[in-house]
Amino acid sequence: MYYFYINYPTFKDRTILIHYGDCGQCKKGNGMFDSGSNEKGFWAGPFKDLNQAEQSLHSLIRLFNHKPPTGNHSCCN
């Protein structure tokens, strides 16, 4: 399963990365501190494969009127 995190305050300035669910930063959408989504952002997912996560991320950022850089976290390689 794959996830990505959108940080509200910084999404225009930082790359939005897709994470594999078992990644230490993602922890199945719970984040490094096991707080999951909060007032500063949210984890989207789970997505069954990397392609689905990429399509969902690109669909979402079209709504922002800004195109932040995107990519895959090293856990996806």
Q: What is the DSSP string of 28-69?
A: TTTTTTT--SBTTEEEEEEESSHHHHHHHHHHHHGGGTS---
pLDDT in tens, the chain (77 residues): 999 998 887 777 888 899 999 999 899 999 888 887 788 889 999 999 999 999 999 888 887 766 777 888 888 86
pLDDT value at position 19?
Answer: 94
Nearest-CA neighbor of 69 among 22, 23, 11, 30? Answer: 11
Q: How far apart are CA 55 and CA 22, in angstroms?
A: 20
pLDDT value at position 15?
Answer: 85
pLDDT value at position 3?
Answer: 95
pLDDT value at position 32?
Answer: 86
